[in-house]
Structure 1
Amino acid sequence: MKISNPVIPGFHADPSMIRVGDTYYIANSTFDWFPAVRLHESKDMVHWNTLPGALDRASQIDMKGNCSSGGVWAPDLSYADGRFWLVYADVKMVDGAFKDCTNYLVTSEDIRGPWSEPIRLNGVGFDASLFHDDDGRKYLVQQTWDFREYRHPFDGITLTEFDVDTMRLKPETARTIWAGTEAKLVEGPHLYKINGYYYLFAAEGGTVYAHQESVARSRSLDALSFEGMPGDPFLTNFDTPRSYLQKQGHGSLVETPSGEWYYASLCARPWHHETEAANDPRGWCTLGRETSIQKVEWDEDGWPHIVGGHGGERYVDAPKDAVETVAPADHSQHDEFESDTLGHDWNTLRVPFTEAMGRVGGGELTLRGQGSLRNLHELSLVARRWQAFDFDAETKVEFRPTTYMAMAGLTNYYSDVTWSWVYVTWDEKRETRVIEVAQNDFGVYTSFLKDDAIVVPDDVDAVWLRTKVRTRFYTYEYSFDGELWNEIPVRLDAKLLSDDYVNQRYGGFFTGAFVGLACVDVAGYGAEATFDHFDYKELPNHG
């Protein structure tokens, strides 16, 4: 079997991969999306199945009001003492001198939960991981954030001992073990003990096209005792601009039962418009940062190297002892909303799906209008990741607004700064329901149809809405019977929903595009929209 990268496509950044017995698990960052901490499992590293999100209660993480791309950064999954350990940060700020992050720890005997209530650890820096030494001692390893404007904000990797008896850190033991290389921005540390050495894997260069993974090692855990690997970096695409995979770096190492080694990393797949140069900009990553897996070999001096070179490979040999795993052929989804809970692929922003947002079950998803799609506190949006460059997504909505302030429909959404949607609303001049398409581009909101908004006949109870995403551009369509579809003459540039576009003007550019269902009532009367299905169908594409 071959691993085809990315193994987990669409917004699955910062993979923390471990093995328990013959099963591999990956935890990924979710930032301001809920459930928090995305989990997958596999026995062959080729086929991955989605598990329930680890953090499914507001008591475990309350992100209400968090800025976009705040929240859960780089969770760390580990297994020791008969249970799973999960460390995660809640980051409150993405721009400016401060991050105001808090690191937490939860545990569970079952990867599917329930996970415990959180233990507050510290706020020294983000990307914390828990290292279980072979003598029974445990340590928190983390990026260190320096807010002082006259110092570099990435202040090395800090190690702090964790007391298992009290389940608390011992601040007096904290020390910097590695300052990083000249690439700077050292973060995402994971520590391993192999053949008498402590190996530190850490990301550097920022999570953009200069991203890389570096390796250092030491015989001890003393302050500044780690030395960097000759020929560093271990993994990067900075100097491989034409590689299929880009931005590889931040990730984690795992050993198979038979002694092979693999490294799970974030990656991205940029595209560019025909009018743009291939290398500048290098491209637009609408699927966000995804998960790739590369094979690792060790040289005679005990240093690790990526098989095929530090740029990685698209296709990688699966482990020789892999147990073939059954998984869906792609990530297409059809939901009739029969269950009274949302499935694993659905997400809400910052808080769990609650009665304030609506209800689900019995063949319907009802959303109760709250704030606009820019709202960081009260928002009725249910969405799923883009996991293919080309797909169709469709829904049917019944909605009878009585004011233009009430809107419901289908959205393609990156964050509160960039999104678009097709929606049903009220035209008070014509005294009728209409269909409009609008886009938010940072502070600019544009309604495309205006006085030519499409009239919904009075005798039509429900409207079908569809989006067609085709890598570089996407469109919206509508139907009054579910069979005869009409394309709305608005073609939107998909690059607005990419990490790279958002990064031009905002410091929180860490997620990826979503498609979903939304209901807004800024008048504050809670108008309700009923959706009776959602269909997401992936299509073959250049990737």
Structure 2
Amino acid sequence: MIRNPILPGFNPDPSICRVGDDYYIATSTFEWYPGVQIHHSRDLVNWKLVRRPLERASQLDMRGNPDSCGVWAPCLSYADGQFWLVYTDVKRFDGNFKDAHNYIVTSPTIEGEWSEPVYVNSSGFDPSLFHDEDGRKWFVNMQWNHRTESYGGSPKSPAFDGILLQEWDPQTKALKGPIKNIFAGSPLGLVEGPHLFRKNGWYYLTTAEGGTGYDHAVTMARSRNIDGPYELHPNRHLITSKDNPEAALQRAGHGQYVETPDGQVYHTHLCGRPLPPKRRCTLGRETALQKCAWREDGWLYLENGTVVPDIEVPGLGGAVRAEKPVRSEYSFDGGKLPDDFQWLRTPRPERIFNLTERPGHLRLIGRESIGSWFEQALVARRQEHHSFRAETVVEFAPDTYQQVAGLTHYYNRHKFHAVVVTLHEKLGRCVTIFSCDGDYPHGRMSFPAEAGVAIPADGRVQLSMEIRENDLQFFWQTEGKGAWQPIGPVLDAGVVSDEGGRGEHGSFTGAFAGVFAFDTSGRAKTADFDWFNYEEL
């Protein structure tokens, strides 16, 4: 059986692509660098991260991008002997505009170096490239309307002004021909995330609708002509949990169709697993996979006979699920950042960290404050479990309170908790807590441990945190001296979630556990981290 979510933790907007017996899923990374996660599987059960292809400034530079901007909804496909990756870099979040720029990169292999980007358009986000049977290529994306009235889309959600179609010329590397608005969406509204495929003389279009919160859905339509008109699925939606609040997988929507070599059919979708009592998805939007079936009416349906996604679905047969280790230990050896880790926005990681100046250590270079949109030394891995423990050890000798290094449970600049080593005028070197519980738009911090606890002036300090669903407790100890000491009160870990602070449509990423340093004096004080452990509880 395939057990959902197949990609736990922050892995939204899954685009799936099969080449022979190999399956690849590309997911959104938003402001986290490098851009786009690509996982690989041969059995649909076990998945491994194999590439983050957007790794150079010429491909992606997100310095200055607001929270939850950056890479939205990539589309991965294979044609003409190469992989094609279409992606958006969104430069604005609040207000009437999005400033969404769409690009294409290619590579003969997933693991190899990807090409320089080709700019396509900026009319809206969630772009997709469809390779038709006759060799023509078609580019689709939602159209963003900055006004309050809609002509091509839904009056209910006028900014989401329908799905645009235009031909892509691979020779000139440009769009050509007329631009057509081919699909206004269903009455649910907020139409986005388009993907096209062709079967038995029909063009099928799946879109995401309802917003990416609890009304989310995969909507399906079809037409004999690629430019429409498109008729809606008899159920309107192929996948949704919007009318089933007790379903284990909530917020189900935004995915893509795939066929196996022997004709079995599946559909990816994003989902969330909310925690009671506030229904906050602390793991963000995750990737799931559903078994589907074609019926005599020529429409695709979930194999379970409903529109509600299942936790377990039939797989290809013969696969053995490889259980992931309960504990992951990272030593920072080998001069390369472990694959699980990312950083924020900048294509110049050498400015914020290195693993060579002190071999076996992750050296963070203190730059701008925690929450900066430009140059922030924060390196972290995804939270993949509702309850976990993270530990690290740091060598850090601050000479001003403007120099800080520590361990953080992080979502964005408005939603984080951190246990830190810094300097206090009366206490000297100390351990304390920074916390931001969703205060928007100001991002004001509180200090739950007040000035903190005095610690020796030198020596390594171990920091840890335990998250048990909605509760977080920080701990510290000087290495080799005594036991772990709790610091501060139990904090609200649930605020570090999509729904924390502004609510379910206020942000779209997920929770991370990681280390950070900043030096707002501008002297670039460094902090050395010897190891980092993450353990499911």
TM-score grouping bracket, smaller chain normalisation: over 0.9
8 A contact 2:50–2:111 mirrored in 1: yes
Matched, 1:447 2:447: yes
Q: Distance in 2 between matches of 1:395 and 1:109?
A: 39
Q: What's the % identity of the aligned pairs?
A: 44
8 A contact 1:4–1:315 mirrored in 2: yes
Counterpart AA for 1:102? H
Q: Distance in 1 between matches of 2:348 and 2:516?
A: 13
Matched, 1:436 2:432: yes
**How far 1:328 moved relative to its partner?**
5.7
Matches within 5 A, 1:13-28: 13-28=12-27
8 A contact 2:415–2:500 mirrored in 1: no
Secondary structure at the aligned position of 1:248 is classed as: strand
2:246 aligns with one of 242, 246, 249? 242
Note the alpha carbon deviations across 1:315-347, whole angstroms, 9 max, x for none. 111024x6x478562474311111222122111
Q: Distance in 1 between matches of 2:56 and 2:329?
A: 26
**How far 1:10 moved relative to its partner?**
0.2
Matched, 1:165 2:171: yes
Q: Which residue of 2 aligns with 1:399?
A: 396
Counterpart AA for 2:182? I
User: 439-448 or 329-338, which moves further after superposition?
Assistant: 329-338
Counterpart AA for 1:410? L
Q: Distance in 2 between matches of 1:102 and 1:465?
A: 41
Matched, 1:187 2:183: no
Q: Which residue of 2 aligns with 1:31?
A: 30
Q: Distance in 2 between matches of 1:232 and 1:477?
A: 50
Q: Which residue of 2 aligns with 1:536?
A: 534
Counterpart AA for 2:416? W
1:153 aligns with one of 159, 181, 196? 159
Aligned CA distance change for structure 1 residues 511 and 163 (closer, same or farther; 3 Å): same
Matches within 5 A, 1:267-278: 267-273=271-277
**How far 1:59 moved relative to its partner?**
1.2
Secondary structure at the aligned position of 1:444 is classed as: coil
Counterpart AA for 1:396? V
Q: Distance in 2 between matches of 1:448 and 1:97?
A: 37
Secondary structure at the aligned position of 1:495 is classed as: helix
Q: Which residue of 1 aligns with 2:155?
A: none
2:515 aligns with one of 514, 517, 535? 517
Cα RMSD over matched residues?
A: 1.5
2:371 aligns with one of 358, 368, 374? 374
Secondary structure at the aligned position of 2:488 is classed as: coil
Counterpart AA for 1:294? Q
1:293 aligns with one of 289, 305, 308? 289
Matched, 1:230 2:226: no
Q: Which residue of 1 aligns with 2:153?
A: none
Note the alpha carbon deviations across 1:250-289, whole angstroms, 9 max, x for none. 000100111000001000000113xxxxxxx5x0001000
Secondary structure at the aligned position of 1:347 is classed as: strand
Q: Which residue of 1 aligns with 2:330?
A: 335
8 A contact 2:335–2:360 mirrored in 1: no
**How far 1:150 moved relative to its partner?**
2.7
Note the alpha carbon deviations across 1:104-150, whole angstroms, 9 max, x for none. 00000010120001000000110000000000000001111111123
Aligned CA distance change for structure 1 residues 503 and 194 (closer, same or farther; 3 Å): farther
Matches within 5 A, 1:242-321: 242-273=246-277, 281=278, 283-308=279-304, 309-320=306-317
Q: Distance in 1 between matches of 2:521 and 2:139?
A: 48
Matched, 1:135 2:130: no
**How far 1:508 moved relative to its partner?**
4.5
Q: Which residue of 2 aligns with 1:55?
A: 54
8 A contact 1:43–1:325 mirrored in 2: no
Note the alpha carbon deviations across 1:468-524, whole angstroms, 9 max, x for none. 1111111111111256211113211112111012443x9641101001000011111
Q: Which residue of 2 aligns with 1:276?
A: none
Which stretches of structure 1, 4 residues or longer, exceed 3 Å deviation after superposition?
Answer: 324-328
TM-score (norm 1): 0.94
Q: Distance in 1 between matches of 2:204 and 2:284?
A: 29
Q: Distance in 2 between matches of 1:77 and 1:333?
A: 29
8 A contact 1:49–1:327 mirrored in 2: no
Aligned CA distance change for structure 1 residues 331 and 385 (closer, same or farther; 3 Å): farther
Q: Which residue of 2 aligns with 1:278?
A: none
User: 112-121 or 479-488, which moves further after superposition?
Assistant: 479-488
Note the alpha carbon deviations across 1:446-487, whole angstroms, 9 max, x for none. 012224x111123x4100000111111111111112562111
Q: Distance in 2 between matches of 1:327 and 1:383?
A: 24
Q: Which residue of 2 aligns with 1:115?
A: 114
Secondary structure at the aligned position of 2:495 is classed as: helix
Counterpart AA for 1:372? S
Q: Distance in 2 between matches of 1:298 and 1:382?
A: 45
Matched, 1:364 2:368: no
Q: Distance in 1 between matches of 2:349 and 2:187?
A: 47
Q: Distance in 2 between matches of 1:488 and 1:318?
A: 46
Matches within 5 A, 1:91-110: 91-110=90-109
8 A contact 1:9–1:387 mirrored in 2: yes
Q: Distance in 1 between matches of 2:178 and 2:322?
A: 45
Q: Distance in 1 between matches of 2:513 and 2:160?
A: 34
Counterpart AA for 1:515? A
Q: Distance in 2 between matches of 1:513 and 1:56?
A: 22
Q: Distance in 2 between matches of 1:470 and 1:260?
A: 39
Q: Distance in 2 between matches of 1:535 and 1:352?
A: 26
8 A contact 1:83–1:107 mirrored in 2: yes
User: 177-186 or 352-361, which moves further after superposition?
Assistant: 352-361
8 A contact 1:68–1:508 mirrored in 2: no
8 A contact 1:297–1:307 mirrored in 2: yes
Note the alpha carbon deviations across 1:353-398, whole angstroms, 9 max, x for none. 5221121142111111111112111110001110111111110000
Aligned length: 522
8 A contact 1:31–1:73 mirrored in 2: yes
Counterpart AA for 1:155? D
**How far 1:43 moved relative to its partner?**
0.7
Secondary structure at the aligned position of 2:445 is classed as: strand
Q: Distance in 1 between matches of 2:99 and 2:35?
A: 18
Q: Distance in 2 between matches of 1:120 and 1:247?
A: 32
